[in-house]
Amino acid sequence: MRYRRPGATPAPPTGPTPARTLEHVLQSIDEAVITTDARGVVTRLSVVAEAITGWPRDEALGRAIGEVLVVEDAPTADATFRALVRDATAAGPPAERALRTRDGRRVVIAPRCTAVQDRRGEVLGLIVAFRDVTRQRLVEQQLRDGEGLYTTGRLAATAVSDLDPLLTAIAAAATALTRELAEQSAPYERAARIREAAARATGLAHQLQTFSRRRAAAHAPLDVDAAVTAACELCVTTLPGTTELRPRLAADGATCVGDAARIEQAVLHLLLDARDAAPPCGTIRVGTTLVTLDEAACALLGHEVAPGPYAEVSIGDDGDLGARGPGLAAVRAIVTDHRGALHVDAQPGRGTVARLFLPLADVPARAAQPPVWSPRVTARFARVDLELG
């Protein structure tokens, strides 16, 4: 038993205070945590919350939580606080929310809100814990796209088995016509085009069958410019009369290792997306060049690509809708199979540019050191116009 002299001041407690212990626990957990008072003013902010929101702790404390967590579907800071209170008091799983960080990034979070209440049930504050699930949701969406594409391929393969004999008959009839008509005449040229279109349609049908059966595609040296040229020749026949296609190819005869038919198919998908997005009297720009992807560029692309020389295929349009449709999932699958990457840059008012990066098997001697690719400034070689007959 300890005795204290009457009137003596008690010794201050030793060890951490409850407030310091709470702060230490808050900063140690791997989730983002923000606490507020009854008015929705931020009272605590964890390190992870700083990283996700972009708000330093010293600047966030004392602000309304709606200023720190800028929810896209909440027009005001008060609306954000009310929505979080509803989440805290509602039953069922929490709804995911899209945020705009302080530096303008779009982040998807899965918040778990807990209301601190007194005995009468009045809200004294909120505890909001959340994680950044943006990349997780993106991967899940890509998996769903891939599954849908695979199902579509299986259905298409069933139809191909019925279409294949019809295409063969069309090609045979067109070939017979070319033998009966005089060369260089207009009917002969039309019959020759029918024969060529039927042959290409047959090739695409066989690609659908290959995809549906998940067979490994044959990989062989391919000329990048030649594959892009073939895709442009297919696309140009589908363009409206007011849309212009401007191919400028400068891959300098560089070769990649892959399936030429699948690369042609990937470029064609992007061309058709650009055609659909381009405004009336718009322009579709197609280009090839050689670039170097360094470690920073590979990290930015977000694909499992290795630093080194690459062939870049770019397809740009003047539309504001960007690359879209199931074709984009197919393009991503094709470039991934070729150890390459896909990058889409869509800016309102400035159009969309989709870029394919394919690893080079052979770098021409005159381009032994291609420039390093940057998302802002992409150096290019002098380009040569491609004439489409």
pLDDT in tens, 278-321: 777 788 999 998 988 888 888 888 767 888 889 999 998 887 55
| pLDDT-based confidence at residue 250 (cuts at 50, 70, 90) | confident
Task: Give Cβ neighbours of residue 154 (< 8 Å, ≥ 6 apart).
Answer: 212
- The DSSP string of 228-256 is HHHHHHHHHTTS-TT-EEEEEE--TT-EE
CB atoms within 10 A of CB 93: 8
Task: Give Cβ neighbours of residue 117 (< 8 Å, ≥ 6 apart).
Answer: 123, 124
pLDDT of 381 over the 50 cut: no
Interval 89-103: pLDDT, tens: 776 666 788 888 888
Q: What is the mean pLDDT of the chain?
A: 76
| pLDDT-based confidence at residue 357 (cuts at 50, 70, 90) | very high
Tell me how far apart the alpha carbons of residues 33 and 216 are, in angstroms, rounded to a whole number: 47
CB 313 within 8 A of CB 274: no
CA distance readout (Å), 151 to 184, 203, 208, 288: 45, 20, 11, 33
Instruction: Give burial (CB, 10 Å; 0-12/13-18/19+) of 361.
Output: middle
| Phi, psi angles (nearest 5°) of residue 202 | -65, -40
Tell me how far apart the alpha carbons of residues 332 and 324 are, in angstroms, rounded to a whole number: 12
Q: Which residue has the higher pLDDT, 249 or 4?
A: 249
CB 326 within 8 A of CB 335: no
Tokens 């010293």: give the residue.
Answer: 58
Please give the pLDDT value at position 379: 34
| Phi, psi angles (nearest 5°) of residue 105 | -75, 150
Q: Please compute the mean of the pLDDT values over residues 124-146 and round it to a whole number.
A: 75
Considering 3-17, 42-56, 216-230, 354-368, the range whose residues carry the highest mean pLDDT is 42-56
CB 322 within 8 A of CB 285: no
pLDDT of 215 over the 50 cut: no
pLDDT of 382 over the 60 cut: no
Least reliable range by pLDDT among 144-148, 178-182, 236-240, 244-248: 144-148
253: left (phi over 0), alpha (psi -120 to 50) or beta: left
Please give the pLDDT value at position 377: 41
Task: Give Cβ neighbours of residue 286 (< 8 Å, ≥ 6 apart).
Answer: 228, 232, 245, 246, 247, 248, 249, 267, 271, 313, 314, 315, 316
Query: Helices (DSSP H) in the chain: which residue ranges?
Result: 18-28, 47-53, 57-60, 65-68, 77-89, 134-180, 186-213, 224-236, 260-277, 295-301, 326-337
Interval 152-177: pLDDT, tens: 656 665 666 667 677 777 877 888 88
Least reliable range by pLDDT among 11-15, 193-197, 250-254: 11-15
At residue 383, what is the residue type? R
pLDDT of 238 over the 70 cut: yes
| pLDDT-based confidence at residue 389 (cuts at 50, 70, 90) | very low
Please give the pLDDT value at position 388: 37
CA distance readout (Å), 284 to 223, 279, 289, 330: 22, 10, 17, 20
| pLDDT-based confidence at residue 76 (cuts at 50, 70, 90) | confident
Nearest to 111 by CA among 75, 86, 135, 139: 86
Cα 176 from chain centroid? Answer: 47
Q: Which CATH architecture has domain 30-132?
A: 2-Layer Sandwich (3.30)
CB atoms within 10 A of CB 168: 13
Tell me how far apart the alpha carbons of residues 320 and 352 are, in angstroms, rounded to a whole number: 7
Tell me how far apart the alpha carbons of residues 152 and 149 are, in angstroms, rounded to a whole number: 5
Token pair belonging to 254:
């560089």
The CATH classification number of 217-389 equals: 3.30.565.10
| pLDDT-based confidence at residue 15 (cuts at 50, 70, 90) | low
CB atoms within 10 A of CB 279: 14
Least reliable range by pLDDT among 106-110, 213-217, 322-326, 376-380: 376-380
Least reliable range by pLDDT among 116-120, 231-235, 329-333, 379-383: 379-383
Nearest to 356 by CA among 281, 261, 284, 286: 286
Q: Please compute the mean of the pLDDT values over residues 148-153 and round it to a whole number.
A: 59
Considering 39-48, 65-74, 117-126, 355-364, the range whose residues carry the highest mean pLDDT is 39-48
Please give the pLDDT value at position 3: 47
Please give the pLDDT value at position 159: 65
Q: Is the pTM of this model over 0.75?
A: no
Q: Which residue has the higher pLDDT, 131 or 374?
A: 131
**SS3 for 139?**
helix
Token pair belonging to 129:
């814990």
What is the residue extent of each domain of the chain? 30-132, 134-215, 217-389
Tell me how far apart the alpha carbons of residues 191 and 179 are, in angstroms, rounded to a whole number: 10
